[in-house]
Structure 1
Amino acid sequence: MKNNELETKNELQDERLLNSTVGRRSFLQYAGASAAAIALVAAGCKKDRGYENPTMDGATLDFKTDVGVLNYAYALEQLEAAFYIKVASAPPAAFTAAQKAYFQDVQFHEIAHREFFKKALSTAAIGSLEVDFSSIDFTSASGVLAAAQSFEDLGVAAYNGAGVRITTTDYLVLAGKIVSVEARHAAWVRDQISNGSFADLNSLTALGASNSAGLDGALTPDKVLAIAGKYVKTKINVINL
């Protein structure tokens, strides 16, 4: 599917979601970014517009500037939003009422994150990514929860690992606000899988977590993209990492 066709499909789907009273309220509640912050990010991106190498197919993330880091976050939020929208639209039959409500709410968190980066980056934003969830059984409650845990844990490690590459304080603050929400998601999902395991860090050592130090994981973008690659059809090029 071409990028413009995918973007149109996503926009129509999101419009249906946000047209409901609950959807619109949730989106505004969780967007968490002021107009001033968005304008600030957009202004910085316009200055660095030429970040993309037009000779490469797919999406290019140039980590030479903050624009590349923001596009990296945008790519990950596209992936998470697509996953949660799919689950919320047709949750597994075995889901409890609380689990269905959770996935309904979190889809709006992820849509808000995705749309924030898209609007902030403006013309410097990469296109819509084509996802591949063929490895996930969306009819299985345990399968969906396991996938959600993987996405959230990876998201936390991705934001933590990218923080050092952000040179603008305002961007770093925004990233901190988003990663804290992703960590809430990760804790909730983990507890659904195994009650009382929400604070377990021992199982996250592969993502760089340290239970003895009380520190969550942190992975560099190349490692994150290698893990996330199985869910993305669009080729993602990385330069100046």
Structure 2
Amino acid sequence: MKKNNLPLSTDKGTHKTNAPLNRRSFLGYAGVSVVTSALILSGCKDDEGNIGLPDTGVNLGSGDTGILNYAYALEQLEAAFYTQVIQTKYSGMTAAEEQLLTDLRDHEVAHRDFFKAALGASAIPDLEVDFSAINFSNRTSVLGTAKTFEDLGVSAYNGAGKLLTDANLLLIAGKIVSVEARHAAAIRSLINPNSADFSGDDVVDAATGLDVQRMPGDVLMLASPFIKTKINANNLPTT
């Protein structure tokens, strides 16, 4: 996994989510060939005109491009969060916790940079995040936020999958959401060791065995306290 330096600000408030990742690393991690990436790029071209309307915020676009930008926005948020966690470690962080959180950082950076490269000219700009409500020196605050982000990410992919029309993109989304779910379980196990909370009934329906799903509007509303940049999701597909 990628081990590059991550030149984000150590400020615990607002900053841009612009740390780079080696192209070979993130394509290899996602399990997607360069050919598949070219297919994604070609599928995004029709929607380039929907990006970045200044009077309505950052426009995610429409169709599959819009859904990719939606995922890209969430991955920017998670990558920035875990980068900050490792840059300013909370008091009492064990070596095992540091390794786990570093792995999560690397995964989220890989996801973020994969979407950025796949979208090409259709990618939204780097978002400005707001972590002023998080106490990065406190384990409870950090892990509680990580739990929120990971559970939200899983529900976001679950809800957005049906909105994609390209089967190749759906396959990639399925690979990423499975990793996000592993993250969610790992964080829950850190918070409550030796418990069944890794798949608690707040995220997995006991009757169906299925995880929670949320539509983009609901996800962006829940994520909005942590994203300073205004996001316009009005053109995203709904069915």
TM class by shorter chain equals 0.7 to 0.9
The aligned residue for residue 222 of structure 1 is 217
Equivalent residue runs for 1:146-225 within 5 Å = 146-195=144-193, 196-204=195-203, 209-225=204-220
**Structure 1 CA distance, aligned partners of 2:149 and 2:136?**
14
Matched, 1:232 2:227: yes
Deviation sequence 1:106-150 (CA, Å, 0-9, x none): 111011100000000000011110000011110011111111000
User: Which whole-Å deviations, capped at 9, do the CAs of 1:46-81 have from their partners, x for residues lacking one?
Assistant: 23321236353431123x410000000000000000
Structure 2 matches for 1:82-161, cutoff 5 A? 82-161=80-159
Residue identity opposite 2:75 in structure 1: E
CA distance in 2, matches of 1:145, 1:215: 24
Q: Is the 8 A contact 1:70 1:117 kept in 2?
A: yes
The corresponding residue for 1:21 is: none
| TM superposition outliers: structure 1 runs of 4+ over 4 Å | 8-11, 24-29
- Quick check: 1:66 aligned with 2:69? no
SS, match of residue 46 in structure 1: helix
Q: Give aligned pairs, total.
A: 223
Aligned pair in 2 of structure 1 residues 145, 55: CA closer, same or farther (>3 Å)? closer
Change (3 A) 1:198 1:48: same
Q: Which runs of 5+ in 2 are unaligned?
A: 1-8, 10-14
Name the aligned partner's letter for residue 107 of structure 1.
R
> Whole-Å Cα distance in 2 between the matches of residues 117 and 163 of structure 1?
15
Residues 48-59 of structure 1: matches in 2 within 5 Å? Answer: 48-52=47-51, 54-59=53-58
**Aligned partner of residue 170 in structure 2, secondary structure:** helix
**Displacement of 1:14:** 4.0
CA distance in 1, matches of 2:140, 2:78: 18
Helix, strand or coil at the partner of 2:233: strand
* Structure 1 portions without partners, runs of 5+: 1-5, 19-23
Query: Residues 93 and 115 (structure 1 numbering): CA distance in 2 closer, same or farther, change over 3 Å?
Result: same
Partner in structure 2 of residue 41 of structure 1? 40
The aligned residue for residue 3 of structure 1 is: none
Quick check: 2:72–2:116 contact (8 Å CA) kept in 1? yes
CA distance in structure 1 between the partners assigned to 2:161 and 2:190 by the alignment:
29
1:150-187 deviation line (CA, Å, top 9, x unaligned): 00000000000001100110000000000000000000
Amino acid at match of 1:143: S
**What is the root-mean-square deviation of aligned Cα atoms in Å?**
2.4
Q: TM-score, normalising length from structure 2? A: 0.85
Q: Percent identity?
A: 48
Q: Deviations over 1:196-219 (max 9, x none)?
A: 234433123xxxx41221110100
Does the C-alpha gap of structure 1 residues 48 and 27 become closer, same or farther in structure 2, counting only changes over 3 Å?
closer
